[in-house]
Structure 1
Amino acid sequence: MAHSIELLMDPDTDAAVRRMWTALMDNGLPSQGNHRSSSNRPHITLAAAEGIDAAVDDVARTLGPRLPLRVDIGATVVFRGGRSTVARLVVASRDLLALHREVYEIAGPFVRGEVFPHCEPDRWTPHLTVARRVTDDQLGRAVAVADDSAHGVSLTATIIGMRRWDSDARAEVDLISVSE
């Protein structure tokens, strides 16, 4: 399992991503919406590892003044692997990259093992996941549905929260929560 530190979106962006999830499900495609846990919500993963000790929480909360943070949502992107992940890019602004690097450095002493390589500074691609485990024969349709369901969605979002996800305990810990 993996533990992570994640950014959370404003209600309008959260709802827009959930509409993409629903459109994928309505078309019989893999979707993050298939995960019914109350903790399942659109997010941007900053750091992920085999484990992240809860002692990081107080240190991470010191980043509260960095939020809210406005970000632009970009095009649909595909991360290839045995099965693919379909996501929407989050434009890597200077402020977002600085926040990511700071979380990476803060989390380091509290990580069990290593931070996963795709979360390392200079390797990280900020994104909002729409669907995981998409097979090659589903990929074209999944991208088309994700794109079609995004029409009319604002391309600017506001990051209003940060949480730590503990997959072992199946628990989320609210680290930062601000209003827009």
Structure 2
Amino acid sequence: MHSLELLLDPTSDEAVRGEWRVLSAAGLPSQGDHAGTSNAPHVTLVARPGLDPAADARLLPLTAALPLPAELGGLLLFGAPPRGLVLVRPMVVTGELLDLHARVHESLGGAGDVPHTVPGRWTPHVTLASRLTPDQVARAVDALADADIPSTRPVVLSQLRRWDPSTGAIIALGPVTADEGDGAGRRPRRSGERTRDGLE
């Protein structure tokens, strides 16, 4: 499934990775277990069977809205046994975040989105762990509580990227930094294939 994702700034990214490490240390499934170099905490804006690379040029100006302050909420579960449960932190929805999401979808056009990324049904979140049993969920909640991790946390959404599973590439779309100039002739940056697991 192709996707457009918002990355967190380095401080926010490290805070989420800290939660991943807590789960791993407790012997529980963790998003941090995935070895792909591009595996990173993120919020999925769009997920659909295909994304036209030609749309990248239309998406780049929308990244002027970044960085965008946001907040991660308390723990939330997706899914149902026996397939496995997904432990996430939902993103507290703001007008600015909804506006960016709507403009991204308007820019892309088309249809076929995964339901939880459609405007009006979008459930923005950062995944902590996938394929948990009910017992593991209880242990995960206890492990995070014992580590004294706050139930909510301010974060910063800093970058938009596109995941292309057909090539295993991550394409950074922006915002353009000072050392990248106006983007003229800028080549998309790519990284290794990421293991996908559970609800993105």
TM over 0.5: yes
Partner of 2:15: 16
Q: Which of residues 112, 136, 139 is equivalent to 1:138?
A: 136
Correspondences of 1:164-179 after superposition (within 5 Å)? 164-177=162-175
SS of residue matched to 2:171: strand
1:64: Cα distance to partner? 2.1
Partner of 2:159: 161
| Larger proportion of strand | 1
Correspondences of 1:82-121 after superposition (within 5 Å)? 82-109=83-110, 114-121=112-119
Output the aligned Cα RMSD: 1.9
Query: Does the 8 Å contact 2:64/2:175 carry over to 1?
Result: no
Structure index of larger Rg: 2
TM-score computed with the length of structure 2 as normaliser: 0.81
Give unmatched runs, 5+ long, in structure 2: 178-200
SS of residue matched to 1:63: helix
Partner of 1:80: 79
Give unmatched runs, 5+ long, in structure 1: none
1:14: Cα distance to partner? 0.3
Query: Does the 8 Å contact 1:3/1:165 carry over to 2?
Result: yes
TM-score computed with the length of structure 1 as normaliser: 0.90
The 3 A distance-change label for structure 1 pair 36 and 46 is same
1:165: Cα distance to partner? 0.5
Query: Does the 8 Å contact 2:74/2:152 carry over to 1?
Result: no
Partner of 2:64: 65
